[in-house]
Chains A and B, each alone.
Chain A
Amino acid sequence: DQQVKQNSPSLSVQEGRISILNCDYTNSMFDYFLWYKKYPAEGPTFLISISSIKDKNEDGRFTVFLNKSAKHLSLHIVPSQPGDSAVYFCAAISYNQGGKLIFGQGTELSVKP
């Protein structure tokens, strides 16, 4: 059972425009949601997180929105830069369930100059 889903395997955006990466989940017990950026043959790099009690968290060009009723979160990158091109993973964590991260499948973002 895939508890965290990223239904878009890839996304292509023009430089300077907004990138919106989406993530859906099924487990209402998740405490935190996190976004990671990953380059090939490297470990994921933490980007931004949001507590389940919040609906928005912003850090520079990155904003994460959480819609608990829809069990949906999204990562907005504005403005998008070519260096943002990477695979983005959505992840969720529940402390009552061992605190382990549950990852989505990832979305490959390509930002074209």
Chain B
Amino acid sequence: GAVVSQHPSWVICKSGTSVKIECRSLDFQATTMFWYRQFPKQSLMLMATSNEGSKATYEQGVEKDKFLINHASLTLSTLTVTSAHPEDSSFYICSANGQGLHEQYFGPGTRLTVT
């Protein structure tokens, strides 16, 4: 099956700093990647949809200036949490699908803790 990786798997940062999370599709080209966050014992909440070579589409209530998304190639999308605060602490998961793939394949997730 299709493999999606995320890096780092966990990160601790201080309040006010920025953190970049990478999402890579390892064995297929992903025209679209999605970023989710999950709070404990809750569902996955879609944050934004990222299309290669164009601006990301953010869901309602998600601050695009705070969560910067870049999808520079068909195998890489990055999420940068800028000026992180403790309330940004969460589990961030990316997913990817290629042309013709209706199944989205998920990365292993990144645990962000902001102190």
Whether A32 pairs with B43 at a CB distance below 8 angstroms is no
Residues from 26 to 46 in A contacting B, C-beta threshold 8 Å? 31-32, 34, 36, 41-46
Whether B57 pairs with A98 at a CB distance below 8 angstroms is yes
Task: Count A-side interface residues using an 8 Å CB cutoff.
Answer: 22
The verdict on A101 contacting B43 (CB below 8 Å), with A42-B109, A43-B107, A49-B103 known, is: no
Whether A101 pairs with B49 at a CB distance below 8 angstroms is no
CA distance A103 to B106 in the complex (A): 13
CA distance A43 to B57 in the complex (A): 22
CA distance A87 to B105 in the complex (A): 17
Point out the residues of chain B lying under 8 angstroms from A44, CB to CB: 44, 93, 106
Point out the residues of chain B lying under 8 angstroms from A99, CB to CB: 32, 49, 97
Residues from 13 to 57 in B contacting A, C-beta threshold 8 Å? 32, 34, 42-44, 46, 49, 57
Whether B49 pairs with A103 at a CB distance below 8 angstroms is no
Q: How many A-B residue pairs have CB under 8 A?
A: 54
Task: Count B-side interface residues using an 8 Å CB cutoff.
Answer: 24
**In the assembled complex, A93 has its CB within 8 A of some CB on chain B:** yes
A102 to chain B, nearest CB (A): 8
**In the assembled complex, B70 has its CB within 8 A of some CB on chain A:** no
Whether B102 pairs with A36 at a CB distance below 8 angstroms is no
**In the assembled complex, B95 has its CB within 8 A of some CB on chain A:** yes
Question: How would you classify the secondary structure of chain B's contact residues: helix, strand, loop or mixed?
Answer: strand
Point out the residues of chain A lying under 8 angstroms from B44, CB to CB: 44, 89, 103
Q: Which residues of B contact A (CB under 8 A)?
A: 1, 4, 6, 32, 34, 42-44, 46, 49, 57, 91, 93, 95, 97, 102-109, 111
CA distance A89 to B4 in the complex (A): 19
Most-contacted residue by chain A among B4, B34, B95, B104 (CB, 10 A): B104
Point out the residues of chain A lying under 8 angstroms from B108, CB to CB: 42-43
Whether A43 pairs with B1 at a CB distance below 8 angstroms is no
Most-contacted residue by chain B among A44, A49, A89 (CB, 10 A): A44
A55 to chain B, nearest CB (A): 17
Point out the residues of chain A lying under 8 angstroms from B57, CB to CB: 98
